[in-house]
Chains A and B, each alone.
Chain A
Amino acid sequence: MGKITGFKEYERKVESYAPVGERIKHFREFTVPLGGDELTKQSARCMDCGIPFCHSGCPLGNLIPDFNDAVYKGHWEKASKLLHATNNFPEFTGRLCPAPCEEACVLGINEDPVSIENIEKNIAETAFSNGWILPQPPTQRTGKKIAVVGSGPAGLAAAQQLNRAGHLVTVFERDARPGGLLRYGIPDFKLDKSIIERRLEILEKEGIEFRCNVEVGKDYPTSQLRETFDAILLCGGATIRRDLPIPGAELHGVLQAMDFLTQNNLKVSGDPFDGEVVTARGKHVIVIGGGDTGSDCIGTSIRQGAASVTNFEILDKPPVGRPENQPWPFWPMRLRTSSSHQEGADRCFSIATKSFVGDTQGNLKKLLTVEVEWIPGPDNRPVLRELEGTEKEWNCDLVLLALGFTGSEPNLASALGVEMDSKTNIEASTRDFKTNIPGVFAAGDQRRGQSLIVWAISEGRQAAHHVDTYLMGNSALPLKGSGDLPRV
């Protein structure tokens, strides 16, 4: 398979970015694809391992060595088939996934890992541009009707799978357009919305019905849902944002990141939006939260023309390399620098915000912080301790809270009688994705709590299999099989 000595001959390369000065002028994607036969070389670095840990590290179970080999041999269409066999939307994960596969890549033990994600993206794009991605409606219909509530990656993946099995699938979306976080959370410079449209068009042509601007339980009675559909799959996501209940949190200029990002995405798409226009232009912006959402806020703020962008993270600055206690192939907590970080943000670690200070009009002007350290607690869990004398004051006009999500909204669940756990995730096990109510299933962030797109697609696919089994007694929809690497 592939080239036996490829990993010794070629160095890792991934697509590059347009220069910062240029790319921050717009909201479009700014990657520069690898040219020539570089992808062949990159795929030649794959070693066709006896145990492909990448395949284990990928929550979808992508057949990474197999598609790498196909790419190496120039069999792009075959690669696309292999990729789509485990991943409904490689064009999303190829852009947005943090690539746990690459952390688990065997070559990554002592070299740079294979550029799996970039290869994945290119397979998807090649397939689209060659017209290989065509609607594939099912050959026969079962007559069963399924409601998928929520059109994020989990819902879309499940819908496509279930439709393939011949069921009639209706996707309910309370927003104006399908896509969930993909559409409203991820900035266009990371995922151009045309990429979503392109896929949605396929899904629609395959026979999936989308009902947007319909919030089940509000615009559509729950009882009708139960009566009309043979099965219901809840993929509403983990939408409850964590807030920061400190003095001054109510000040004008303290904003949830999701509100900020959604508005910007609507603006970019030319869609209408409610409420006050928020912009970072000319402002000193502080983004609290060092995750992906925080990073998206940084990139967006910079593009909006912020005077400065600072990023706080309460955790310690992780090492650049792997921490010793999180050895290969496990997913390591290490310093990750996104393209947005590169665009000019100060990153502060081990820092906690104590209060916001506003002017008399209630406009945010400053915030106060303290440095923290993490010490081992009673059951060896690290606990936070503030360091005396490290208080600091920061000038700022806009604070974006990117603190993560704490669970899903309970309305629909309770209307359906579906049980939730203490974190307001819906109770359903990955064994069958069944909730306590027969015929009602849950998947994605709404079931597992906030997570990655790749997990959402994965859950949608697995859940589809179980919904199909529930309806038909058995299912030919694929499962990914065991082998997920746990977190350590």
Chain B
Amino acid sequence: MRKQGLYLPEFEHENCGAGFICSLQGITSNDIIHKALDILEKLEHRGAVSADGKTGDGAGILIDIPHGFLTEVCDFDLPPPGGYATGNVFLPPSTNQQEYCIRIFEESCRKENLEVLGWRDVPVDRTIPGRIAAETEPHVKQVFIRPHFTPKDPLQLERALFIARKRAEHAISDSRLSESDYFYLPSLSTRIIIFKGLLMPLDIRKYYLDLQDPRVVTRLALVHQRFSTNTFPTWDLAQPFRYMCHNGEINTLRGNVSRMFSREELLASEWLGEDLKEILPVVLPGKSDSATMDMVVELLLMSGRSLPEVMMMLVPEAWEKNEDMSPSKKAFYEFNSCLMEPWDGPASIPFTDGNYIGAVLDRNGLRPSRYTVTKDGYVIMSSETGVLDIAPENVALHGRLEPGRMFLVNMKEGRIVNDEEVKEAIACKLPYEKWLKENLIQLKDIPYSKAPLQEDKVPLAKRIIAFGYTQEEIQHIVLPMAREAKEPIGSMGADTPVAVLSSRPQLIYNYFKQLFAQVTNPPLDGIREELICDISLTLGRDQNIFDPTSEHCRKLKIHNPVISKEDLDKIKRFGQQPEFKILSIPMRYEAARGLNGLEEALEVLLKKASDAVNQGVRILILSDRNTDEQQAPIPALLACSYVNSGLQKLRQRSGLSIIVESAEPREVHHFALLFGFGASAVNPYLVNEIIAQQIEQDSLPQCSFDQAIANYNKAVGKGILKVMNKIGISTMNSYRGSQLFECLGLKTDLVEHYFPNTPSRIQGIGLYELEREIARRHQKAFHTSDIPGNMELEIGGDYRWRRNGEKHQFNPLSVALLQKAVRMGEPKTYRDYARLVNEQSEQLMTLRGMFEFTNLDPVPLDEVEPWTEVVKRFKTGAMSYGSISKEAHENLAIAMNRIGAKSNSGEGGEDAERFYRTSGGDWRNSAIKQVASGRFGVTSNYLTNAAEIQIKMAQGAKPGEGGQLPGPKVNPEIARTRNSTPYVGLISPPPHHDIYSIEDLSQLIYDLKAANREARINVKLVSEVGVGTIAAGVAKAMADVILISGHDGGTGASPLTSLKHAGLPWELGIAEAQQTLVMNDLRNRVVLECDGQLKTGRDVAIACLLGAEEFGFATAPLVASGCVMMRVCHLNTCPVGIATQDPELRKKFDGKPEHVVNYMYFVAEELREIMAKLGFRTLDEMVGQVSKLDRKKALDHYKAHGIDLSPILHKIPVPGNRALCNTEAQSHRILESIEFDIIERAHPALFRKEKTALDLKIRNTDRAIGAIISNEISKIYGAEGLPDNTLKLNFTGSAGQSFGAFATRGLTMVVNGNANDYFGKGLSGAHLVLKVPEGSTFRPEENIIAGNVCLYGATSGKVFINGKAGERFCVRNSGAVAVVEGIGDHGCEYMTGGVAVILGETGRNFGAGMSGGIAYVLDTKGRFGRKCNSETIHLLPVDDPEDVQGLRKLVESHYNKTLSPLAQRILENWEDYLPQFVKVFPEEYRQALIRLKNEQLETL
């Protein structure tokens, strides 16, 4: 599908099911193929259904070359196995073009001294592919090739094949053949062959008839099924690829591709010689992330590295902060980090070259990968366990792939090689340690001569004006960072104009918006999961990647690339030696020459950079020092990006690294952009000087200059880490040059020239206007007379309103008028308010301000649906009880319930009392219950009482970030509603730990639907480029409502960087979502909702015309309730009693439900008037009618005239009367659940509380078992549930994901077998038991029995697991008690309550962010201490008698429930084991307990 409207094809995502099966003994069979394909079938629920429901997104299988079969079916002789290569070839359908391609290919082979033995037509059943797939179906032939030489090693032949294939690909691609796109070789190998296509998994074997032939046998089979978020897949992108397949998403792709492109400059090898040119580019453009990665894998294999080594290079484990890693392995990783940045992102990558088959998992462990080894010698690996039926007694071992680890089967040796062994062997191949020691230069080791280098001659006072500093920036950004080493926090939303609509001169950074992860990949938590993150970089000249030498690590290593002037001085001096040349070039232009001057200066800059590369310069410093009366600064970002991309175009980029020495950057966002566009270090020298000045002026008491600078640099470093984490990237090495930004308001020609490959969708200003802004600042600094008494610096006003500062939509007058209107009930005053807001938006503060209504077709106002109907589509925003006071929260709920509209609980749970109406008839229940990453108070009962359940994927004010409610705010009342401990701080993680990809979201939607099938499921997204594609995926994942939030939404606390610079206006998001959904024929299935600073009826009308049919308001109803935009929500000092929990301040809350009702009424009436004017009697008629909008004719703004709104107003041409709004419900498959059958049989338990027990079978496709029954229990019995153990369910088999989700009290569920991810998610009081099935012979405690993220958000209940569980066990548990026999990394993360007993080893980073509850860990090897994240926890012996007794009781229960041999051993040797237990006691929890005790004493 081509680019149209706001839709950009490059933002498609994919997520997949993958797996493999192999015979360790090398036994070949045809059955393996069928088993492998069965695996895919059992994973079908992990996918999505496209609009037509038929065409799959692609599937495939990789097997051994079936030599025996081929000799029989080929009409020519084949050499012995290994002596020839074969592969399927996708060819054009037309015969003449087929022949052409064949000829080119054969020629290419000949050039490599290869002989084509013959071609065989691959028998296929052409009736199998779906309609869409058939349109692009290739003709498939097999080619057979043998060398005309005797290869001295297998690699020689592989290389010849590689060059032959590559050359042919390029030649055909360049041929202008009309069907050249068809030509593709899934594989060409002497060992393996791939069958793949745009097919459903089941259809693979039906299509490729060979696969059904019993003579086709293999030892191994790698299978893959692709689910893309969108519906425009192609045959060649089906997986597996030649060496690997991939489940997940490579977040760093753009940077990786761009760096690969640069690396080609240096590629050189004897074996390639002159052929090199013909195989470039290595990475073909326009392919998927996985395809791209495969191409790189292939290239690296050709260098002679082994497949495991290549995987180690591309997907390194988190080595940087791993103290337990062997020095040799660490050296390997460090050395290779000079060659290759990590390909980062959620990734489970099964790979094979026929000799090795294995898989590697990303450093975060964000994809599930389970494997089973059977006693009869098979290894089965896939995303879920239980996909193949294996008798318990045949199981030798259940395992899982661990973060950063590799699982490898050596097919030749017929054994599993463990991670340590394979990696250690690779790491010792070359003397990496020695090379590093002799070559890598550490910045901290360079001596400082104490003699500062050059100073600017122009006084600081002038320079800060020239660079556009304001007092606010110094007071609110620079100083807090210098003081506290943290980025400053703000609250409420951004209501200032976007840069391109601001009349104040803007820095170029403000035209860029940070991209962030939502749904298709998770954002990360660099604070709690610091050990997997790293911001260090190496600087210098890159070397030929084929041929590693000591010279490759002749680089400068910087641990925090935000450096001080002192550091830069050191580097400059160091660069004076000939063997490490460093050159500084100025970023300045002659101000008087204006645009021409700037343009030319940029060209000169690039020329100088290019010359520098030729002169052997290794580090280039771009400096805007010495700006003066004549010389204006070139914006550092512009210069840096241009040198970065320009050198790349000149094929010189790998020659040097860039350091930026600039006065410009001061906010985190600025630095993030510089790194994102190619800088490797930045010295913000003017900030350094400002800090010095402030210290002189006594504005930084008790802080030395060095300390302040270090603090500031640290704050920026942390901030950038957060920006990286937002998009799911963990290392700066991968982030550098990745360009993960979207331009808002920059012309395409400017972007293409200076910032190539950055999306910019609505045009805007060009270099001319940019220069004018620079000139204005320069003018002000150097050419304006000094007026005594004037302020030296502008006041600012970006974060806090000031008269002469930036404009704000909420300003004294609009707030005052709105409050007067709703309080006095004055329609006239509301009109004044609305006029003010609408006009001020028309004075260009928002994109919607640029529209005007057109094509009017007036109807009488009384024919328009009444306001009482209109307001049913209105909602208030998600604000948690906790972030706002009880009074303010309930006020909104009552108001919205009065008018049949909906309020939103926010992420804080809700007091169950509020679920029932008061005697007065009012109802404090929030119709919408939010489920966010912290899962606070999310219980079965909570979900049951929702009319709509909202999954918050992102929040406009801080997309990609989590939140934090500090301990002191968690008073006992709030703690109760959040099911947490009073005074224990609560963290909402950046990601939902059960959503790392679209298939996971689909699972959560299923879980929630099971927990309340009457409620609509709403998925909240934030506007950014590609949100339409994501919305399409979310629609396919069965959401009922999709909310697109604007970037300007409010918040109770957010770093200022995020408030201002992440996310985009909803106008873009809603239009893109509407367009993409309509394009995919998915629009009718979902309701589209919009929010983000909606303030008036006009705002609503525009949102509706762009595609929204429901509307959310948050700031405005708060203002109606009394909010005065203090922007101190994060400080708990709200003086009007809204965003505070202080009892004294809460008393000051003065809002009434009537105020909010009045507001909604006024907005609805204003909207009705617009509807009447436009000619719509109902909102349904109005949705998506973009023809009623036009760009305002009279726009008088020098920057705005370049904006092109037509992409927003683009109407997707669709056949017939395709709906533009929601017309039908999603077909959820809840009714197929086995639970309804159980409910029928459990009648006595559910309705008469009679103890009932049932025996049942279960398999991995039975998901969220327990949720539906719990929903029924909650409906009848509320939060209380049933008495414990009323209904006992005994399951046998492998439980699907989310077993026991939200299971409530009274239920006891036992699984004899094993379970997948999210076991006990949201557990609400039930008891869960998971034990190894009868007949098993392995030791349970060494066996993986449960998947990742068990007990996520559990609030109460008990869990006993007779085996090990995966990563993130008990994450965000706030009250459940769990016993398990071993767990993976990040155990008990963010836990706030409950008890976790771990009777075995834990992974790394245990207890990160743990603020409450207790864990007991049996540490027999004494290694536990090293694995903890000790930031917040204490490790103590278990000696308190109460603790000892409690622990023993739990172990006893564990034994009683599971018959665990381990528990038995422990109990039998209690005295020996007890001292080996460690009690994990969070500091905050300890303090909270003391405080609670004191409070109790006081009340006594």
Contacts and interface: CB of A to CB of B under 8 A. Distances in A.
Contacts of B285: none
Given A4-B1131, A50-B1126, A55 B802 contact: yes
Contacts of B1144: 8
Interface in A45-66: 47-53, 55-57, 61, 63, 65-66
Interface in A123-171: 136-140, 160, 164-166
B753 interface: no
A85 B788 contact: no
A485 interface: yes
A102 to B, nearest CB: 15
B666 to A, nearest CB: 18
B800 A104 contact: no
Given A106-B1126, A139-B785, A329-B816, A51 B1148 contact: no
B97 interface: no
Contact of B787 (A7, A82, A477, A485): A477
Given A52-B800, A78-B697, A327-B820, 5 more contacts: A48-B1128, A55-B803, A81-B791, A109-B1148, A330-B820
A110 B1136 contact: yes
B813 A109 contact: no
Contacts of A106: 1124, 1126, 1135
Contacts of B1148: 109-110
Interface in B787-831: 787-791, 795, 799-805, 808, 810-813, 815-816, 819-820, 823-824
Nearest to B797: A481
Contacts of B1133: 4-5, 7-8, 47
Of B475, B813, B1150, which is in contact with the most chain A CB atoms at under 10 Å from its CB? B813
B1136 A51 contact: no
Contacts of B786: 139
A426 to B, nearest CB: 26
8 contacts: A8-B1144, A50-B1124, A110-B1148, A110-B1150, A325-B824, A327-B819, A327-B820, A483-B811
B1128 to A, nearest CB: 7
Contacts of A241: none
Contacts of A251: none
Across the A-B interface, the 8 shortest Cβ-Cβ residue pairs: A50-B1127, A481-B803, A136-B788, A56-B812, A481-B804, A50-B1125, A61-B803, A483-B803
B784 interface: yes
Contacts of A324: 824
Interface of B: 471, 475, 492, 697-699, 784-791, 795, 799-805, 808, 810-813, 815-816, 819-820, 823-824, 1124-1128, 1131, 1133, 1135-1136, 1142, 1144-1145, 1148, 1150
Contacts of B804: 61, 478-481
Interface in A321-356: 324-325, 327-330
A483 B800 contact: no
A480 B805 CA distance: 10
A19 interface: no
A56 B816 CA distance: 11
B658 to A, nearest CB: 37
A488 interface: yes
A249 interface: no
B790 A1 contact: no
B816 A110 contact: no
A455 to B, nearest CB: 15
B1135 A107 contact: yes
Contacts of B802: 52, 55, 63, 481
Contacts of A206: 788
Nearest to A488: B820
Contacts of B1124: 49-51, 53, 106, 109
Of B788, B1126, B1136, which is in contact with the most chain A CB atoms at under 10 Å from its CB? B788
Nearest to A78: B697
Interface in A1-32: 1, 4-5, 7-8
B824 A483 contact: no
A53 B824 contact: no
A75 interface: yes
Of B697, B789, B795, B1142, which is in contact with the most chain A CB atoms at under 10 Å from its CB? B789
A482 interface: yes
A47 B1135 contact: yes
B791 A485 contact: no
Nearest to A136: B788
Contacts of B1127: 49-50
A110 B1135 contact: yes
Contacts of A328: 816
Contacts of A50: 492, 799-801, 1124-1128
A309 to B, nearest CB: 38
Contacts of A78: 697
B808 to A, nearest CB: 7
Contacts of A8: 1133, 1142, 1144-1145
Given A61-B803, A140-B785, A75 B1126 contact: no
Contact of A85 (B789, B819, B820, B1126): B789
B812 A104 contact: yes
Contacts of A303: none
Of A65, A166, A476, which is in contact with the most chain B CB atoms at under 10 Å from its CB? A476
A65 B812 CA distance: 15
A48 B698 CA distance: 20
Nearest to A330: B816
A35 B812 CA distance: 34
Nearest to A142: B785
Given A47-B1128, A109-B1136, A56 B789 contact: no
Of B790, B808, B1144, B1145, which is in contact with the most chain A CB atoms at under 10 Å from its CB? B790
A63 B815 CA distance: 20
B702 to A, nearest CB: 13
B812 A483 contact: yes
B802 to A, nearest CB: 7
A486 interface: yes
Nearest to A482: B803
Contacts of A165: 785, 787
A84 interface: yes
B813 A486 contact: yes
A166 to B, nearest CB: 7
Contact of A478 (B471, B785, B790): B790
A166 B785 contact: yes
Given A109-B1135, A478-B791, A75 B813 contact: no
Given A1-B475, A56-B803, A109-B1136, A327 B1126 contact: no
A7 B801 CA distance: 20
A47 B813 contact: no
Nearest to B1131: A4
Given A47-B1133, A50-B1125, A84-B789, A476 B812 contact: no
Contact of A66 (B784, B795, B799, B1145): B795
Nearest to A134: B788
A139 B785 CA distance: 8
A51 B801 contact: yes
A138 B813 CA distance: 37
Contacts of A138: 787-788
Nearest to A62: B803
Contacts of A109: 1124, 1135-1136, 1148, 1150
